[in-house]
Structure 1
Amino acid sequence: MSFLDTIRIALRALLKNKMRAVLTIIGVVIGIAAVTTIVSIGQGASQLVSGEFEALGTNVILVFPGQTRRGGVTQSGAPTLTAADSDAISRDCPAVLASSPIVGTGGQIIYGNENWNPKEMQGVGEDFLTVRNWELEAGGFFSKDDIEANGKVCVIGQTLIPKLFRTVNPLDETVRVNNVPFRVIGILKKKGANMVGDDQDDVVLMPHTTVRKRINGSPLDTVHAIMVSARSTDQMGKATKQIQALMYERHEVGPTDEADFSVQDTTEIAATLGIITGTLTLMLSAIAGISLLVGGVGIMNIMLVSVTERTREIGIRMAIGARGKDILRQFLIESVVLSCIGGAIGLALGTATSMAATVLINAYKPGTDWPMVVSIPAAFVAMGFAAAVGVFFGYYPARRASKLDPIDALRYE
């Protein structure tokens, strides 16, 4: 008997009991759909994380302040980074492309009768756009002279334009930030929302000296963080080591002292987040895969019932010349076909569920732009796994059918 004849007989047998076949594959459908959905959402999360770090800036390293400690004793809880540290990093670290101090603030920005509370109001250095890999839509950015003079100039994000200016061109207009007048000299290009849905375009950038002295009213030269960009991805490690060595020297950190700063490489943070999302995806997929095993057990049970019901048919086929391997192949094909049909339906259902989940996530957090990922390799793996379930759980019933004695089978009532 040819292979195609065996497939035809197997399909005919399945079509005789459509409801039984449908109920049999439900477990496989649910298992494949769950795994497909989880893998798709997990890969979407990984892409989103990667995109967020690219949006943060190419090859970015962050330096954060800590507490001053000497000999294990805390000396001060005040911020320990200064704008001079940022200048030194740019000047003395060959692997560094640019750096910018960051001074955060908050409050209201007013234009005419309109007012708005931006999500981010930051004081930064003249190289901030280089570090963040951000471009201007219009106008210019403040210069070193503006920073040294505590210049009252600002650059705004796209979100502020409709909120404050409506149809007016913002360039050269005067706004008030916490009642301090600022002239708008530039407009940033659109960045979109970050991974948690926060609008990155809802931002006002000002010289860090202006924010520190005129808005925060601080007489100190301290900054909240330093953002650094390495010259290339290959030089990230070298830049990090150079920054650490320079800061240890500048802050006079001794062998027994705890550093009053920390240096974080965003590629390491991204890699860590990637490992976390990958591990969670794998764990959830494994849990969802349990339903595949349940579906496989269901297939085995139904195939055993089918063997019992078709004992006389098996006996007749053997009596007219069918060999044991023909019977084995027929029942094995029935099992694999059942499993693969369930896998195909599950794959389609999982893809549809992933699309729906992506739409809901983006609707819940407007601007998040959570990507919809359909992995072709993952689809092939899912179908292969479905076929493997059919082979594994269908082999015992098929072998049992092939070992029936033709005479006993013909006597079966």
Structure 2
Amino acid sequence: MIYLKLIKESLLFALNALRTNKLRTLLSLLGVTVGIFSIIAVLAAVDSMDKGIRKDLAGMDNSMLNIFQYSFSPTDVPKWKIEQFPDMKYDEYDYLKRNVASIDRISFNYFTNSQNIKSEFATANDVSISPCSFDYQYIDNIKVEKGRFFNESEDASGSSVIVLGYEIAEVLFPNVNPIGQTVRLYGKRFDVIGVLEKQGSSSFGQSKDLQVFIPSNFLRQYYGENSNYLTPVIVAKPKKGFDSDIFKDDITLKLRTFRGLKPSDIDNFFLNEFAGLTQFIDNIVGSLNLVGWIISAFSLLVGGFGIANIMFVSVKERTHIIGIQKALGAKNHFILYQFLFEAVILSFIGGLVGVVLVYLIAIVVTSLSSFEFVLSFTNVIIGLSLASFIGLISGILPALSASKLDPVEAIRSGM
């Protein structure tokens, strides 16, 4: 009970000192506020980005493979050698489809340039075109709200049919049912056979609301096999429960055989596993967090020095009072606690202000943009704990110097 009373009295002394010197308290808060604001803002932004990316990727299978000449993640193969790798061919897609028993779904896709799409009502500019095979709807979990996705026959023949993303359909056909209408793309007329469900904003890649899907065979016939406008990629998904390593080995073996590679030759293609992309994203997020901590640490360091400096000034100003307290029987630890509490409370308030500022910015950013900025409870605890720790470290030396003052000398110095 004696120690609890001692802590209470020390706390009251500290609060009274902060109230007495309002301007000095405010100036001391700024350094810690900026430091905590910097750290929590970076952590919250990175967490929000990470959460958004994982939400966008949640519908896709981790075992899905993107097979083409480039790698999604860092590789030991020199860039000049990668540039010499051949493009994927439709014959290779057809060969894998017929000869790899472990494949559940497989699609022949193209990465290509954005295009303008016209209807009789409006024009949609710079639309993302996604040429693919009919199986891609099952690989990428594509959900159609109106109409349907193109079938295997339309895919094989390269029919001029199109499935519109939700927002593209809204632009091209305001207040009109798009199904059965026609649009103009690549100088050809396309029949609209489907409209996708609304997906919303996307943190990774592009939202399907802003995409359109057409049979990849249409572009293969339109541009030919060797076109600078197209980058072909084979997307494959294994059967449920099938071992991913065996699946990759099967595809690698078949593709090497089809391309006539010797045992001493390296693979002239990459199997980009979705799980590997997730790991790559984790590495990026970790690096961003680390950079944020390093940058914010300098702000915290400045804030800590500011508090330490103010506490030394406070000790000097109250030397006479400290001497009187000691003369009346105050122990060293009472004086120590008094100044430590003052430093910790000062720093904690600064951290609290920093957290509140991040929270307000999160509300504004979320309301004014499509990016969902989230301040998690964990980050709040990190910020407040770190602020308290900085206050404790910054206040140790001033508090020790105050507790070791000789009462007679302390009283004399104030006279």
* Class of the TM-score when normalised by the shorter of the 2 chains: 0.7 to 0.9
* C-alpha RMSD over aligned residues: 2.9
Which one-letter code corresponds to 2:89 in the other structure? T
* Deviation (angstroms), 1:375: 2.1
Describe the SS at the equivalent of 1:63. strand
Question: What are structure 2's unaligned runs of at least 5 residues?
Answer: 71-79
Per the alignment, residue 43 of structure 2 pairs with 39
- Counterparts of residues 62-211 of structure 1 (less than 5 Å): 62-65=66-69, 79-93=86-100, 95-103=102-110, 107-112=115-120, 114-117=122-125, 119-195=127-203, 198-211=206-219
Deviations 1:104-123 (A, max 9, x none): 55645443364444523333
Per the alignment, residue 392 of structure 1 pairs with 393
Kept in 2, the 8 Å contact 1:99–1:127? The answer is yes
Which one-letter code corresponds to 1:163 in the other structure? V
Question: What are structure 1's unaligned runs of at least 5 residues?
Answer: 67-72, 363-368
* Deviation (angstroms), 1:152: 3.2
Change (3 A) 1:277 1:392: same
Query: Distance between the aligned counterparts of 1:274 and 1:234, measured in 2?
Result: 25
Out of 282-291 and 25-34, give the one that drifted further. 282-291
Query: Distance between the aligned counterparts of 1:47 and 1:199, measured in 2?
Result: 16
Query: Distance between the aligned counterparts of 1:114 and 1:313, measured in 2?
Result: 80
* Deviation (angstroms), 1:51: 2.9
Change (3 A) 1:31 1:232: farther
Deviations 1:334-363 (A, max 9, x none): 111111111111111222234445556x3x
Which one-letter code corresponds to 1:5 in the other structure? E
Per the alignment, residue 365 of structure 1 pairs with none
Change (3 A) 1:17 1:204: closer
Deviations 1:60-103 (A, max 9, x none): 3211147xxxxxx99x9695323343344445445543110013
Change (3 A) 1:132 1:28: same
Kept in 1, the 8 Å contact 2:89–2:225? The answer is no
Query: Distance between the aligned counterparts of 2:133 and 2:351, measured in 1?
Result: 56
Aligned pair count? 397
Change (3 A) 1:103 1:286: closer
Change (3 A) 1:208 1:318: same
Query: Distance between the aligned counterparts of 1:39 and 1:233, measured in 2?
Result: 36
Per the alignment, residue 69 of structure 1 pairs with none
Query: Distance between the aligned counterparts of 1:115 and 1:353, measured in 2?
Result: 36
Kept in 2, the 8 Å contact 1:49–1:274? The answer is no
Describe the SS at the equivalent of 1:254. coil
Query: Distance between the aligned counterparts of 1:15 and 1:109, measured in 2?
Result: 66
Which one-letter code corresponds to 2:48 in the other structure? G
Q: Does 1:377 align with 2:378?
A: yes
Change (3 A) 1:276 1:105: closer
Describe the SS at the equivalent of 2:175. coil
Per the alignment, residue 295 of structure 2 pairs with 287
Per the alignment, residue 70 of structure 1 pairs with none
TM-score (norm 2): 0.85
Per the alignment, residue 22 of structure 1 pairs with 26
Per the alignment, residue 8 of structure 2 pairs with 4
Per the alignment, residue 53 of structure 1 pairs with 57
Change (3 A) 1:25 1:219: closer
TM-score (norm 1): 0.86
Query: Distance between the aligned counterparts of 1:191 and 1:38, measured in 2?
Result: 27
Give me the identity figure in percent: 29
* Deviation (angstroms), 1:410: 2.1
Per the alignment, residue 73 of structure 2 pairs with none
Kept in 2, the 8 Å contact 1:148–1:209? The answer is yes
* Deviation (angstroms), 1:177: 3.0
Out of 258-267 and 313-322, give the one that drifted further. 258-267
Per the alignment, residue 212 of structure 1 pairs with 220
* Deviation (angstroms), 1:21: 1.1
